[in-house]
Amino acid sequence: MSDLLPAAPEAANTVDARGSACPGPLLEAKKAIATVKMGDVLEILSNDPGTKDDIPKWAGKVGHKYVGHMIADGYDRIFVRRGK
């Protein structure tokens, strides 16, 4: 996905899935989304290149909103707003 953010939104929780290969980051995000309130943002840290595609697809399927991502030093910061 190409939704590169200029600044990070405020995240209610962060999941550090760096070092985890697919589907690990997605599974971590699925578990962690329940830890944030509806309308709040979950941040997923991942260095697996497929995560930038997997997270937006998952979010759209289950009623959450993919906010975008940022590139950090060797990993991506991916943001999802809880929708349900």
- How confident is the prediction along the chain (84 residues), in pLDDT tens digits per residue? 458 999 999 999 999 999 999 899 999 999 999 999 999 999 999 999 999 999 999 999 999 999 999 999 999 999 999 998
Which pTM does this prediction carry? 0.94
Catalytic pick from 5, 8, 22, 70?
Answer: 22
Counting beta carbons within 10 angstroms of the beta carbon of residue 13, is it exposed (0 to 12), middle (13 to 18) or buried (19 or more)? middle
* Amino acid at the residue 11: A
22 is catalytic: yes
Counting beta carbons within 10 angstroms of the beta carbon of residue 30, is it exposed (0 to 12), middle (13 to 18) or buried (19 or more)? middle
Identify whether the C-beta of residue 78 lies closer than 8 Å to the C-beta of residue 46: yes
